[in-house]
Structure 1
């Protein structure tokens, strides 16, 4: 089970984080595809989210919230996929 982080608007003085838009798009699409994969008894993949987190554009930002939180979320999603990939006996 995963708990999604609550969204908060940044302080008006906070610098923009351009790669966050790409990350949000990747998360939106990957979770929709992941939900369909689970319904179809397949294991979800999170490659697009992983790629968005390793985008070189992050190097030019001073972000200390979005990317670390997304890394935790990716860890949780990966753990979900690993659990779904096990045999039925392992899932009990």
Structure 2
């Protein structure tokens, strides 16, 4: 039996989940999109959606950067506490 598109998507979700921290990654078969829910400390809920795992990875990195920019705990140096490529390891 050959793998279905959903099987492939689930495998990609599992791989992405192993590479990230503070995110819950899922495949939404009805919408045929990938979604990620930020599980870190944030003033509001953060949910991002994308059509591909690479787009989702980029959306997650952008969301973390936006959270850092608006954080009242942001250091005055203006330097991000973590590199964005460490948030979503490839």
Structure 1 and Structure 2 fold alike (TM over 0.5): no
Structure ranking higher in strand proportion: 2
With the length of structure 2 as denominator, give the TM-score of the two structures.
0.33
Structure ranking higher in helix proportion: 1
Task: Kindly indicate whether structure 1 or structure 2 has the higher relative contact order, using CA contacts under 8 Å at least 6 residues apart.
Answer: 1
With the length of structure 1 as denominator, give the TM-score of the two structures.
0.32
